[in-house]
Chains A and B, each alone.
Chain A
Amino acid sequence: MERTEAELIAAALKGDAASFEPLVQKYSPRVFATARRYARRDSEVEDIAQEVWLKAFDKLKSFRGEAPFEHWLMRMTVRTCYDFLRGHQRNRESSFTDLSDPENDWLERFVTAPEMASDHADAAKLLIGRVMKKLSPPARLVITLLEIEDRSVKEIAELTGWSVSLVKVRAFRARAEMRKIVAKMAKEKYL
């Protein structure tokens, strides 16, 4: 008979690591999908996911069972991703001079006819990836959660552990920071 999540968690709390396996199997796709928003290399994504699960096992006592396990785990995932961003801040100062041909073409198309520049183009996805890389860790986290994942300020506050007012302040600063980076990209390309 299949054991419930609560039973698995109770067994894991007693130190039974094997009981944790079904939980790892069930929720790892979400953990990996979230980690891939903040890290590109497979090794980095795997390191984040591994850290999330080790932390989850160590801090399982703090899971009170009031909210679903998945919510608790996602909070841990987002915070681990944020720690990763803070620890990997290199390359933020690099320039936009090395854009690939498709990226350059997409920008040209946007300048001549913005409506013709498709949102679904791979080049646009590469460009936003470059812009996101240049954002500071809090700005990148807020833009990802607020603008890309379309989450509410309250949800972000719960996920990150920041207060609602801090999320609002960081969102304001993040948008300004992003505008500045997009302006820098346009300037480097056309001046």
Chain B
Amino acid sequence: MNLEELQKKLIAAARTEVLDDRVPYAFEKRITALLASRVAPDNLALWVRGLWRAAVSCVAIALLCGAWTFLNPATATASTSDDLSQSFENTLLASVDQGDQTP
């Protein structure tokens, strides 16, 4: 058998094949819907991702503060904790005090 000739014949047969360019019904609508559905939740996903990150950070900070306040009284004396709360109150109300003093 002439293999070279057989190969040529087979290639020639492939060349004669008429290309089937049929497109399934409403294919373009399906692609558009798919693209639209991909675009819309993306904005929402960005917000959700951002909010989740913020929530995780807040929880981490709250836990750290909790741990610090829980462990701190063991080392700090009562007077220093009183001083701390007094200082905090003074700082917080400093602007109000200044407002009262000005004529």
A128 lies within 8 A of chain B by Cβ: yes
Interface size on A, residues (CB 8 A): 45
- Take A17-B32, A29-B21, A120-B16 as given contacts and tell me if A148 and B11 are in contact as well, using a CB distance cutoff of 8 Å: yes
CB distance from B54 to the nearest CB of A (A): 26
CB distance from A8 to the nearest CB of B (A): 12
- Take A32-B23, A110-B6 as given contacts and tell me if A53 and B31 are in contact as well, using a CB distance cutoff of 8 Å: yes
Q: Do residues B20 and A36 form an inter-chain contact, with CB atoms below 8 A?
A: yes
Chain B, residues 16-42, CB within 8 Å of chain A (1/0): the string is 110111111001111110111011000
Q: Which chain A residues border B46 with CB–CB below 8 Å?
A: none
Q: Which chain B residues border A161 with CB–CB below 8 Å?
A: none
Tell me if A's interface is mostly helix, strand, loop or mixed.
helix
- Give residues of chain A (12-39) contacting chain B, Cβ–Cβ below 8 Å: 15, 17-18, 20-22, 24-25, 28-30, 32-33, 36-37
Give me the interface of A with B, judged by CB distance under 8 Å.
15, 17-18, 20-22, 24-25, 28-30, 32-33, 36-37, 42, 46, 49-50, 53-54, 57, 110-111, 114, 117, 119-121, 124-125, 127-128, 131-132, 143, 147-148, 150, 178-179, 182-183, 186, 190
Given contacts A21-B31, A50-B31, A182-B3, 15 further A-B contacts (CB under 8 A): A17-B39, A20-B32, A24-B27, A29-B22, A32-B21, A33-B19, A37-B19, A49-B27, A50-B30, A124-B13, A125-B13, A150-B15, A179-B3, A186-B6, A190-B1
